Amino acid sequence: MIETHTSLLLVVIPLLAAPVTAILPNGRLPWLLTLAVSWLCFVLAIWQFMQVMDGSVISYELGGWEPPWGIEYRIDIVNAFVALIVAGMAAVTLPYALLSVEQEIPKDRISLFYATLLLCLDGLLGIAMTGDVFNLFVFLEISSLSSYTLISMGRQRKALTASYQYLIMGTIGATFLLIGIGLIYSETGSLNMVDLNNRLPAVFEHRTVHTAFAFIVVGVGLKLAMFPLHLWLPNAYTYAPSAVTVFLAATATKVAVYVMLRMVFNVFSTGFAYVTPTDDMFLLLGVFGVVFASISAIGQKDAKRLLAYSSVAQIGYILLGIGFASALGLTAAVVHIFNHALMKAALFMAVGALVYRIGSSHITQIRGLGRQMPWTFGALVIAGLSLIGVPGTAGFISKWYLVLAAIEQQAWVIAIVILAGSLLAVIYIWKLVEALFFQPAIDDTKSVREAPLSLLVPTWILVLANIYFGLNTELTVNAATIAVQVLENIPQ
Amino acid sequence: MKHNLILRVIAKLLIPIIVLYALYVQFHGDFGPGGGFQAGVIFSVAFIFYALVYGIETAERVMPESVLRILASLGVLIYAGTGVATMLLGGNFLDYNVLASNPIAGQHIGILVIELGVGITVSSVMLLIFFIFAGRARQ
């Protein structure tokens, strides 16, 4: 039975667990349940991924309504890959969350916190599973509303402003997406992605479809923090509780990138994106995103904020990959979705461990801590190297494919921008390393202990994964290659 | 509050009718316009009306916040649980046909049960929001 229902179970299990968690007594029980659910989802996601690894497609109709009328969950390798990232990151983040959340969230809100986290996981997995554009919007709202709540639970009062800012921007994004979906529905009378792909070419000339496309690209662009629509992101990541920052940084923008890929390449078609100036726009915004966000990152005074700006820059790389309009570029984009999740989660975890010990991530406050917390510091350095793209780390693989794609197109300027982006990353990562290791501690007499094991182990799992996927590219690149074939071909 | 005699009498008169109407909208949802969401809102309106006339403390004694929280979760569980039940009976998620031997009866049962879940969650969340905002004045 589980075999046929895998895709649905991935959505239903967190959905059932969320209300149960909400009524559990505060304490460690809600965490335990959330942990169990996230691991279960991870196992299911791995299993599902292996089923579609060969390029096959699993279709699941909800409520016994045949697609295209009913909602269909349509799992190909792209969905399964994104679901694997989301479930995997949740599974690694939750052991980390226990102590960090106990310290940062008021005791009487712990069960509600985990219920919200489960809803967020549910929404993100739902986006990855569904083959229906309206259902996708609903899941996007579930994940967004729960992430606004999660961000607002940060311990500083500024978390409320950050959350509100994200709420406004995110709602505009979601509304734009909905307007776009409404317009294509009015043109084709369908909401099913495969069906839309068949019906849309007939009306490609219509102004309505072009308008819909613009609304969808801008709306999803807001959710994925596409430069210059990224303004909500630095505050949201800075003031959210550490565990939330880790989870959202690793999954939320990645899932939004997936939505963009799905919408542009499968709902509309590869041809449509390349006839309109969309690909040039992606290239342009990607270049500006990489350069400006990296430079902004250098100027930041807060470690979390610095990494948040770096996330915007990394989204720029992914956009470059999409904009190249070639198989190689898309492969780079898909690989980077995975690798960036790994490295940014590891970095935010390391910074979260600092926050756990000293209660601040401000660069003047973390001075000299590297020597007192060597394991945390080591994780930060290695994940930082991966972010820069040093050979032997996961980051190198995505940069390598990206540069190859640029050379293939003879886009020398962009190749230089990619390399310059890495150099800028060297500067901002060095800024952290310098503060942590080479500057004297503010207070020499006060000794800070190494972070507890439950924070270190998940961090190091991700750090080792960064190295593993930098040496063994079989899984990521193979999956990405097949995923690109799925994205570029019109599905049967 | 003592002087608002007319208001109090009318409220007592109207509240049962509002609740009855909510239940009508709830259980007529499978044939006519209506359903859990609208019914839930109307149902909570009866309580909000009661709270406005008799005071929040009195209303909270009738419907404590802790109960509301459990009800809010219960509604979602009823909805998703129906889906799981259909899966256990061999259908797809929320495929009501398998709920009874006759598919039409199954569809009726299915939609009534999930709309009940929606109704419970919507009305309790509406009340929770009302109590939280109204309760801020006391702090």
List the pLDDT tens digit at each of the 492 positions of chain A: 567 788 888 899 999 999 999 898 888 899 999 999 999 999 999 999 988 887 788 888 888 788 888 888 888 888 999 999 999 999 999 999 998 888 888 888 899 999 999 999 999 999 999 989 999 999 999 999 999 999 999 888 889 999 999 999 999 999 999 999 999 999 898 899 888 888 888 888 888 888 999 999 999 999 988 888 888 999 999 999 999 999 999 999 999 999 999 988 888 876 777 777 888 888 899 999 999 999 999 989 898 999 999 999 999 999 998 888 788 888 899 999 999 999 999 999 999 998 888 888 888 888 888 888 888 889 999 999 999 988 888 889 989 999 999 998 888 888 899 899 999 999 999 988 888 888 887 766 667 788 888 888 999 999 999 999 988 888 888 888 888 888 876 443
Contact A352, A96 (CB under 8 A): yes
CB-defined contacts A:B, below 8 A? 49
- Report whether pLDDT(B33) > 80: no
Instruction: Sort out which chain B residues have CB atoms less than 8 A from A12's CB and list them.
Output: 80, 83-84, 93
Q: Which residue of A has its CA nearest to B91?
A: A64
The C-alpha angle with vertex A485 and arms to A480 and A491, in degrees rounded to 5, equals 130
Q: What is the pLDDT of residue A409?
A: 85
| Closest residue on chain A to B90 (Cα) | A1
- Cβ of B80 within 8 Å of Cβ of A64? The answer is no
Q: How many other C-beta atoms lie within 10 A of the C-beta of residue A453?
A: 12
Of the candidates A280, A295, A168, the one whose C-alpha atom is nearest the C-alpha of residue A229 is A168
Judged by a CB distance cut-off of 8 A, whether residue B129 touches chain A is no
Instruction: Flag if A18 and B81 touch (Cβ within 8 Å).
Output: no
Q: What pLDDT is recorded for position B93? A: 85
User: Token pair of A159, please?
Assistant: 């978390």
Q: How confident is the model at residue B102 (pLDDT cuts 50, 70, 90)?
A: confident
Tell me the pLDDT of chain B averaged across its residues.
88
Q: How do the domains of chain A map onto residue ranges?
A: 277-492
Look at residue A4 in the predicted model and tell me its pLDDT.
77
Q: Which chain A residue's Cα is nearest to B103?
A: A64
CB < 8 Å from B in window 2-61 of A: 5, 8, 12, 15-16, 18-20, 22-23, 60-61
Q: What is the pLDDT of residues B70-91, one digit of tens each?
A: 999 999 999 999 988 888 888 8
Nearest chain B residue (CA) to A21: B73
Which residue of B lies nearest to A24 if distances are taken between CA atoms? Answer: B70
Chain-chain contact of B74 with A20 (C-beta, under 8 angstroms): no
ipTM attached to this prediction: 0.89
Amino acid A277: pLDDT: 82
- pLDDT at residue B54 greater than cutoff 60: yes
Question: How far away is chain A from the Cα of B94, in angstroms, using its nearest Cα?
Answer: 4
Q: Within the 2-41 window of chain B, which residues sit less than 8 Å (CB to CB) from chain A?
A: none
Per-residue pLDDT at A492: 35
- Asked if A60 and B92 come within 8 Å (Cβ–Cβ), the reply is yes
Min CA distance, A245 vs chain B (Å)?
A: 26
pLDDT at residue B139 in the model: 61
Q: Within the 55-114 window of chain B, which residues sit less than 8 Å (CB to CB) from chain A?
A: 69-70, 72-74, 76-77, 80-81, 83-84, 87, 91-97
pLDDT at position A462:
92
Residue A392: the pLDDT is 87
Q: Tell me the chain B residues in contact with residue A8 when contact means C-beta distances shorter than 8 Å.
A: 87, 92-93
Cβ separation B96–A22 shorter than 8 A: no
In the prediction, which pLDDT does A490 show?
45
Helix (H) or strand (E) holding B22: helix B5-27
Contact list, B70 vs chain A (CB under 8 Å): 23
- Smallest Cα distance from B58 to chain A, Å: 24
Give mean pLDDT, residues B10-15. Answer: 92
